Amino acid sequence: MKQIKTIILLLLGSTALLQAQELDVNLQIRPRFEYRNGYKTLLAEGQKGTSQISQRSRLGINFKQDDLIVKLTFQNTRTWGDVPPATVADKNGVAVFEAWAQYNFTQKWSARMGRQVLSYDNQRILGEMDWAQQGQSHDALTVTYQTEKQKLDFGGAYNSTAENTFQTPYTVSNYKAMQYAWYHNQFSDALCLSFLALNTGYEYANADAKLLVDYKQTFGSYLTFKNSKIDSNLWFYGQTGKSTDLEVSAWNAAANFNYNVTDAFKAGLGYEFLSGKATNDGSTVIKSFNPIFGTNHGFNGFMDYFYVGNHLNSVGLQDAFIKLNYNVNKWQFGLSPHVFLAAADVVTPLNEKMDSYLGTEIDASFGYNFKKDITVTGGYSQMFGSKTMEFIKNGDANHTNNWAWLMVSVNPRIFSWKK
């Protein structure tokens, strides 16, 4: 460690003598075991579940010099055994998760450019997606105005496949261009309100092979009220615009109420509605809401049946749930049952309307702070699907569809220096 510190100090050079500087280097090792037996969709008849261990490894470097802040995060994601022990190259290699520079022009105004996380409010629309080992970050420019009670972020991005010399189709599964604005106001210690407007443009080729960009707008508000006993929130988002020359008209609304029964026990209930399109609806309008860049694993059940790379342009969702949390010493326990229903009619090809009930999921989880920088978390979930779920997702609802996981997070700060 002394040798590492000496090398870093030498690299900083003589500038360390002239300006105030801070340097932090952090490491994360996060392996996770999963048993998947009907995870993300009902297991089909004759199929068997599977198990694997995935791992995230990150190295984060944070540097500050007066009004300049720089962050660089490298990461590798892998599945144990995806390459042989004597491999000469890793399957996924090392990627840059974050690489941004921020300059604080004044105490109120700042700008950040580069690969960065865009995370706002409860991360329903824009989030880090931290559960996924790879996470989620954007190549963007963000400008921030902030006072004691208010904050305004506005930014954007423009993407290309490479440094091209002529027009080339953008083939990455991502937006071609994006702009957004987010405003947050803290009215009091208990009450906060945010507004978000997001404009995403996706490129496509029309019938004449001409490259066009259609823009879809996602906009809405997020309200929170929190005091010593109550923790509640509600939100509403709408979607409009166009996608591959199709009109978009969708919406999402939710309400959550949580109450601290004691210092250790917290109980809550909530309901979320995401609009969908009936299976016999012949119109071309896109009526199914898309959370876009949300941290969707944290919503609608841990088994990821909905909106985690799936259930898009479908019948939507109604999710009614209860949340129970209990903390004692270094332990945290959670239990959350969900009741799922379709938000639009489910009609068979024979014109028979099915029950809107999709199924019930029960999520149980725990966490244990083993020691400083080491946390152990895990859980068990089971889905009790219906015939309507079978129709929507295929698979066998009578099969035992469950999922279990265990994760160890090691997050040490390996170097810290300040002058």
Where do the structural domains in the chain lie, given as residue ranges?
2-418
pLDDT per residue of the chain (419 residues) written in tens, 0 to 9: 555 455 555 555 544 445 789 999 999 999 999 999 999 999 998 899 999 999 999 999 999 999 999 999 999 999 999 999 988 888 999 999 999 999 999 999 999 999 999 999 999 999 999 999 999 999 999 999 999 999 999 999 999 999 999 999 999 999 999 999 999 999 999 999 999 999 999 999 998 989 999 999 999 999 999 999 999 999 999 999 999 999 999 999 999 999 999 999 999 999 999 999 999 999 999 999 999 999 999 999 999 999 999 999 999 999 999 999 999 999 999 999 999 999 999 999 999 999 999 999 999 999 999 999 999 999 999 999 999 999 999 999 999 999 999 999 999 999 999 98
Q: What is the CATH number of domain 2-418?
A: 2.40.160.100
pTM over 0.85: yes
Can you say whether the dihedral through the CA atoms of 359, 37, 128, 31 is positive or negative?
positive
Amino acid 14: pLDDT: 45
Amino acid 419: pLDDT: 86
